[in-house]
Chain A
């Protein structure tokens, strides 16, 4: 779904309150910032990741993002252990998430540690699209991507 220029792929899962997308693959989940989140954050200036192997509780910080306007956390949508970060990708191009938030611009890969009890708030498909429409209206956001 594209709404006010914000792309919300319906094959992904979303933690809407935290503006995080999730792609499950076996027992691993790839996480990133949604189009809405990268737009609100603005062009990345820096990113730092928690170490691989670190266990992070739901809502706690997996990475810290700095843009020209703001510094803030990229939060865990559920408790997890970090298995991989996209540190090398962002070292090559700091604007990865501003250009391709759902593919090259992923932030971390994690292994959920209590998913059964912590996945109730995640949405996907048509439900995610509808809920994001509401959020985009509420935030009054028009999404923008970086070209270079």
Chain B
């Protein structure tokens, strides 16, 4: 790539504008528009939902209203996320011909400067293909890609802090136990610059360092520029669309399994009605294995410590019916478990309903 890149540096814009700005530059892009990187952070907290999500199914709108958290639908995919001034968004709006054709290579090109920035700050960050950034198994930010008009877009962030508690509060979940599990999993599997370094690095220094790393990776000069009147007008148009009920409440049909914590970690939940009572399962899956499981319900399980022991026995077990059933049967035998009307096969079915939800009729 030989063309210079324009940088738009916008710390402290409104939450709405922190989302609409990259849509605007994308949709306003013409053949002679420079490739552009926007570094932007909002001056207040908000919730961003994915393009095809159903807001009423995914977001606790009552909580958001009580806490004055606006919700905006972006034209990039994925799930709902709580965002605030603790993240500096790094948004690339490029011409198609200036990016690799394959999405895998495109994400690598985009993520490499983020990783290099973190590494120079002393954080052991790495690309977790296809599009996560990890530090020793914890995620320090995800990324996304989209096409808007003729522009190809890549978005992600440099994460100073992340409010995991509020993140777990803004999601609509079937139970408070599920919410607790999400929070606990965010604590276990997400990290930030502040957590890694013990203090928050200087934001301007991080911005400059990131620009240096982008310039080195792409071999191009970057200049700090302004956006055009046309781009700003486009932003105003998109601002209006993003706050309209028609846009926000459009019905989505995103097919996703549970709550994704990062590429390898999901929280799933299901229930199964056995003869002896209802079994509820909340499980954290990591790399196809049960990382953690909480079992509850209205069945009887004896001795009294059996429930905790059963949960413990599931940790690290491959999430397949055969291995789960075998582990549960082994726990039943070892602990002389009695559960009238509930069998190891029922627990297996409950867990597998969470792992692979049954298809609706």
Which residues of A are in contact with B by a Cβ distance under 8 Å? 40, 42, 45-48, 64, 66-73, 91, 94, 138-141
Contact = CB atoms under 8 A, between A and B. Distances in A.
B91 interface: no
Given A66-B51, A72-B146, A94-B255, A45 B77 contact: yes
A72 B145 CA distance: 9
A71 B52 CA distance: 10
B91 to A, nearest CB: 14
A126 B316 CA distance: 54
Interface of B: 50-52, 75-77, 101-103, 107, 130-131, 144-147, 250, 252-256
Closest 5 CB pairs of A and B: A46-B52, A72-B147, A71-B146, A66-B77, A46-B254
A139 B102 CA distance: 7
B101 A69 contact: no
B145 A70 contact: yes
A139 B254 contact: no
A71 B255 contact: no
Given A70-B77, A70-B146, A73-B147, A48 B103 contact: no
Contacts of B52: 45-48, 64, 66
Nearest to B143: A69
B256 A71 contact: no
Contacts of B131: 69
Contacts, number: 62
Given A45-B77, A46-B254, A70 B103 contact: yes
11 contacts: A40-B101, A45-B77, A45-B254, A48-B252, A66-B77, A68-B130, A69-B103, A69-B131, A70-B147, A71-B144, A140-B102
Given A64-B51, A67-B77, A46 B146 contact: no
B146 A91 contact: no
A60 B235 CA distance: 20
Contact of A91 (B51, B144, B253): B253
Given A45-B254, A46-B255, A71 B103 contact: no
Given A40-B102, A45-B77, A64-B51, A69 B130 contact: yes
B361 to A, nearest CB: 11
A140 B52 CA distance: 30
Contact of A140 (B101, B103, B256): B101
Contact of A40 (B103, B107, B130, B253): B103
Most central of A67, A68, A73, A141 by chain B CB within 10 Å: A68
Given A66-B52, A68-B130, 20 more contacts: A45-B77, A46-B252, A46-B253, A46-B254, A46-B255, A47-B52, A47-B253, A48-B250, A64-B51, A64-B52, A66-B77, A68-B77, A70-B103, A70-B147, A71-B76, A71-B147, A72-B147, A139-B101, A139-B102, A141-B102
A71 B254 CA distance: 12
A6 to B, nearest CB: 14
Most central of A40, A45, A94 by chain B CB within 10 Å: A45
B107 A69 contact: yes
Contacts of A69: 103, 107, 130-131, 145
Contacts of B50: 66
Nearest to A138: B101
B260 to A, nearest CB: 10
A46 B77 CA distance: 9
Contacts of A40: 101-103
A83 B190 CA distance: 47
A42 B77 CA distance: 13
A127 B312 CA distance: 62
B102 A71 contact: no
Most central of B102, B144, B250, B253 by chain A CB within 10 Å: B253
A105 to B, nearest CB: 15
A94 B147 CA distance: 20
Contacts of A67: 77
Given A64-B51, A66-B52, A71 B252 contact: no
Nearest to A95: B255
A71 B101 contact: no
A66 B253 CA distance: 10
A48 B256 CA distance: 16
A45 B255 contact: yes
Contacts of A64: 51-52
